[in-house]
Amino acid sequence: MRRLAALLLLLPIAGVVLGSMQAGAAWVKLPAGTFRSALKYEDGRTAKVLPFALQKRPVTNGEFLAFVQSHPRWRRDRVPTVFADARYLLQWPTSTRLDDAGSQSAQPVVNVSWFAAQAYCQAQGARLPTWREWEYAAAADETRRDARQAPAWRERILGWYSRPSDGPLPRAGLQAPNAYGLQDMHGLVWEWTDDFSSLLVSGDARNQGDGNRMKFCGAGSLAMADRENYAVLMRVTMLSSLEARDTTAHLGFRCAKDIQ
């Protein structure tokens, strides 16, 4: 029902592909690859990723403001409660204005629901990345495409999780690009993925309860297999705890595109 509701709401804007929302963050093309996922899937831990493009940095308040101005159904004062909770865009002083034209405009947008993030991406002719795509892209440090076994890399990410998070967010795009050319994959905000709700579905749970749930478990992941990678476990657990209408003060997103 979550996906069906989203599709029904997005149909009127599905044709908006080459409009003003194309002028957002730069895109980075990632090659196809195979890697060992931290999640255990039905077909094992070896994950294959097709070529795709990912926005270089998270979507900003300024970019999302342009989107809600063009698509007013996603304004804070108009969005249906089924698609966003009461905290949706709560950091904005009004539904159509930011605090100023500088710092808040350049900060990553947060307090945005999965529904709203997916609508923004569709307005660009894009989509949210899958977990496999995000994990593949986020495994890189500044010099290596897969730095996950490096203790220093893991410690740096865990250091971010341990810092107080009650201050204003930095602007997006300050971090050095990783080996693919992507910025802010860690250390700025958490990020939505398309299949967030299926990441911790167990084999037993998949055969019980709501049978329709399985129709939307695109990744079909079973359980965390790399338990030493605590940083990934925290992210998967957080995303799996959410509903599509939920928002938090440190959850943003970036869009992805298929490459033919």
Q: What does the pLDDT read at residue 6? A: 44
Determine what percent of the chain is predicted with pLDDT higher than 70: 76
Helix axes 151-162, 230-240, angle to 10 degrees: 40
Q: How confident is the model at residue 19 (pLDDT cuts 50, 70, 90)?
A: very low
- Rounded Cα gap, residues 3 and 180, in angstroms: 31
pLDDT for 98: 93
| Higher pLDDT pick, 6 / 77 | 77
59, amino acid identity:
V
Domains, the chain, with CATH or none: 2-163+171-258 (3.90.1580)
Residue 233's nearest CA partner among 154, 140, 153, 145 is 154
Question: What's the rounded Cα separation, in Å, for the pair 148 and 134?
Answer: 14
211, 163 Cβ separation under 8 angstroms: no
Q: Cα–Cα distance between 16 and 239 in angstroms, integer?
A: 28
- The amino acid sitting at 120 is Y
pLDDT at position 12 is 38
Give the model's confidence band at 257: pLDDT under 50 very low, under 70 low, under 90 confident, else very high.
very high
> Is pLDDT above 50 for 1?
no
Q: Cα–Cα–Cα angle for 66, 195, 158, nearest 5°?
A: 85
Half-sphere exposure of 69 (CA within 13 A, CB side): 12
Cα gap 170→166, rounded to integer Å: 12
pLDDT grade for 103, boundaries at 50, 70 and 90: confident
Measured between alpha carbons, how far is residue 118 from residues 7, 221, 256 in Å? Answer: 10, 21, 10
Cα–Cα distance, 62 to 80 (Å, whole number): 22
pLDDT digits (tens, 9 = 90+) for 158-212: 888 777 667 789 999 999 999 999 999 998 999 999 999 888 754 444 333 443 3
More confident residue, 40 or 103: 103
Query: In residues, how long is the chain?
Result: 260
**Start-to-end C-alpha separation, the chain:** 30
Say what the pLDDT of residue 225 is.
Answer: 52
Residue 45 confidence (pLDDT)? 75
- Amino acid (1-letter code) at residue 38: A
CA–CA distances in Å: residue 66 to residues 80, 101, 209:
19, 13, 41
pLDDT digit string (tens) for 116-167? 999 999 999 999 999 999 999 999 999 999 988 888 888 888 888 777 667 7
- Could you list the beta-strand ranges (E) of the chain: 27-30, 33-41, 44-49, 52-55, 190-191, 221-224, 251-252, 256-258
Asked whether the predicted pLDDT for residue 259 surpasses 50, the reply is: yes
